[in-house]
Amino acid sequence: MQQQKPLYIRRASQLVTLADSSNAPLRGKAMERLSIIENGSVWVEDGTIRAAGPDEEIAAKYQTRMNEAEVIDASGRLVTPGLVDPHTHLVYAGSRENEFEKRLRGATYMEIMAAGGGIHATTAATREASIEQLISESTRRLDLFLQQGVTTVEAKSGYGLSLEHELKQLEAAKELDRSHVVDVVSTFMGAHAVPAAYRERPEVFVDQVVTEMIPEVARRKLAEFNDVFCERGVFTPEQSRRILEAGKKYGLAPKIHADEIEPYGGAELAAEVGAVSADHLLRASKTGIQAMAEAGVVAVLLPGTAFFLMAEAADGRNMIDAGVPVALSTDCNPGSSPTVSLSLIMNLGCLKMGMTPAEVLTATTINAAHAIRRGHEIGSIEEGKKADLVLYDVPDYRSLQYAYGVNHARTVIKSGCVAVRDGFPVHSRKAVS
């Protein structure tokens, strides 16, 4: 690979570092501890952050090497770590605007799914699509994520629902991770819905997930996590436990779609199996939330989904106060949250879940990184971490949540390379090695 020049970003009005030595997601009051350096600089080399600090300190430290570096003047600009989206269904084909219209006329998400639409409709479209088509449609979404400063996304399978098609989706995610500068972290979610052919015998499908799909996905090293849609009418807590425990045996860390539509024991199960995260939690019980706090399970909250399903958002405020580490995500998917706008999610985090702008920023950086077990390498601006950085056209971090529906990201740096410069994508594909 071509040797890169060092990158020297200086004079940030606020350098939001989120520096923290605990190597654990932030909780409670610590979620507001952004560790901001006013008039701050970052020195980057070989894709890695080498130093971050006040302008004078970094200038003095690298005085003799200034002329080697590419300088980015961040005067008047806010700089944050690259944003992390820890819950997406990125790889899919088709769209569901017909269902959107049905819902506007009164049908519910679950009714549509029970009638063969919803996840089943996207599964049919995704099975039909070639891997090239899946890669191409998902690349477009990754481009949009990147332009907003999102430098890492998690991506779930679950629109294949058979070994062959789940593998195709996961292979597409792997290729996206290889070809696009945005890092894609893969989750297997064969237990996203019970296919129609198994409606009368769901246990047979669960057997397939446990005995065929999980071992093969693990053997091919196509995922790090194993997720299940634990919801009445989809997978029961007992089935979910079996699936998540099976994944653990094969080295796939558990995640769970929990208590989205009704209270169903998902939060409790997340704590019991030691899930890395429990996601949704709109209707999670008090005891479930308490159990998550004790077990250190990250709550990945998806206020865009509540917004789009016209439901009340999860109680983020209460979860933070109860000591649960909270992260936020788009839930990007064609049914319940067709968006890539983490910016809108930030705003909803404040207005619909009672979170402060500082908590929201923590929830979309370091805590989101921990929700996908990447807290040691991304999510904060600290020496040794990957140089994923965003410069915005605003000077104050609170503007990100305040002026909503707006993309404030101007320059996005991914692994030390300028990927978006002054709003224009300049480098979104990885060099072929």
Residues that bind ligand IZC in the complex, under the rule CB under 6 A: 89, 118-119, 122, 229, 257, 333-336
In angstroms, what is the minimal distance from the CB of 87 to ligand IZC?
A: 10
Q: Select 81 or 334, whichever has its Cβ closest to ligand IZC.
A: 334
Largest CA distance in the chain: 72
Pick what 229 binds: Zn ion, ligand IZC, none; C-beta below 5 to 8 Å, kind-dependent. Answer: ligand IZC
Phi, psi dihedrals of residue 290, rounded to the nearest 5°: -60, -45
Q: Answer yes or no: is 331 a known binding residue.
A: yes
Q: Answer yes or no: is 39 a known binding residue.
A: no
Pick what 118 binds: Zn ion, ligand IZC, none; C-beta below 5 to 8 Å, kind-dependent. Answer: ligand IZC
Q: Select 89 or 370, whichever has its Cβ closest to ligand IZC.
A: 89
Phi, psi dihedrals of residue 250, rounded to the nearest 5°: -100, 15
Q: What CA–CA distances, in Å, run from 169 to 48, 147, 160?
A: 31, 24, 7
Q: Select 99 or 331, whichever has its Cβ closest to Zn ion.
A: 331
In angstroms, what is the minimal distance from the CB of 382 to ligand IZC?
A: 34
Pick what 410 binds: ligand IZC, Zn ion, none; C-beta below 5 to 8 Å, kind-dependent. Answer: none
Q: Answer yes or no: is 159 a known binding residue.
A: yes
51 C-beta neighbours (distance < 10 Å), count = 17
Find out whether 181 and 429 touch, Cβ atoms under 8 Å. yes
Q: Select 87 or 180, whichever has its Cβ closest to ligand IZC.
A: 87
Which pair of structure tokens corresponds to residue 186? 């893969």
Q: Answer yes or no: is 428 a known binding residue.
A: no
Q: Answer yes or no: is 260 a known binding residue.
A: yes
In angstroms, what is the minimal distance from the CB of 21 to Zn ion?
A: 32
Contacts of residue 45, defined as CB under 8 A and 6 or more positions apart, other chains included, come to: 4, 6, 7, 416
In angstroms, what is the minimal distance from the CB of 236 to ligand IZC?
A: 15
Q: Answer yes or no: is 257 a known binding residue.
A: yes
Contacts of residue 66, defined as CB under 8 A and 6 or more positions apart, other chains included, come to: 8, 59
Q: Point out the residue whose Cβ comes nearest to Zn ion.
A: 331
Q: Select 155 or 320, whichever has its Cβ closest to Zn ion.
A: 155
Q: Residue 56, SS3? A: helix
In angstroms, what is the minimal distance from the CB of 326 to ligand IZC?
A: 19
In angstroms, what is the minimal distance from the CB of 344 to ligand IZC?
A: 17
Q: Answer yes or no: is 87 a known binding residue.
A: yes
CA atoms within 13 A on the CB side of 139: 16
The radius of gyration computed from the CA coordinates of the chain, to the nearest angstrom, equals: 21
Q: Answer yes or no: is 23 a known binding residue.
A: no
Find out whether 301 and 349 touch, Cβ atoms under 8 Å. yes
In angstroms, what is the minimal distance from the CB of 278 to ligand IZC?
A: 13
Say how far apart CA 133 and CA 153 lie, in whole Å: 20
Q: Answer yes or no: is 65 a known binding residue.
A: no
Q: Select 137 or 331, whichever has its Cβ closest to Zn ion.
A: 331
Residue 192 has what DSSP assignment? T
To the nearest 10°, the Cα dihedral for 295, 232, 333, 319?
-30
In angstroms, what is the minimal distance from the CB of 257 to ligand IZC?
A: 5
367 C-beta neighbours (distance < 10 Å), count = 29
Q: Point out the residue whose Cβ comes nearest to ligand IZC.
A: 335
Pick what 335 binds: Zn ion, ligand IZC, none; C-beta below 5 to 8 Å, kind-dependent. Answer: ligand IZC
127 C-beta neighbours (distance < 10 Å), count = 16
Say how far apart CA 148 and CA 294 lie, in whole Å: 34
Region 328-387 residues binding Zn ion, contact defined as CB under 5 A: 331
Q: Are strands 277-280 and 298-301 parallel, antiparallel or unpaired?
A: parallel
In angstroms, what is the minimal distance from the CB of 229 to ligand IZC?
A: 5
Q: Select 143 or 331, whichever has its Cβ closest to Zn ion.
A: 331
Helix axes 163-179, 119-128, angle to 10 degrees: 70
Q: What angle do CA 367, 147, 170 make, to 5 degrees?
A: 65
Q: Residue 401, SS3? A: helix
Q: Select 43 or 109, whichever has its Cβ closest to ligand IZC.
A: 109
Region 309-338 residues binding Zn ion, contact defined as CB under 5 A: 331
Q: Select 20 or 260, whichever has its Cβ closest to ligand IZC.
A: 260
Find out whether 91 and 138 touch, Cβ atoms under 8 Å. yes
Give the annotated binding-site residues for 4-imidazolone-5-propanoate. Answer: 96, 159, 192, 260, 336
Which residues are near Zn ion by CB under 5 A?
Answer: 331
Give the annotated binding-site residues. Answer: 87, 89, 96, 159, 192, 257, 260, 331, 333, 335-336
Give the annotated binding-site residues for N-formimidoyl-L-glutamate. Answer: 159, 333, 335
Give the annotated binding-site residues for Zn(2+). Answer: 87, 89, 257, 331
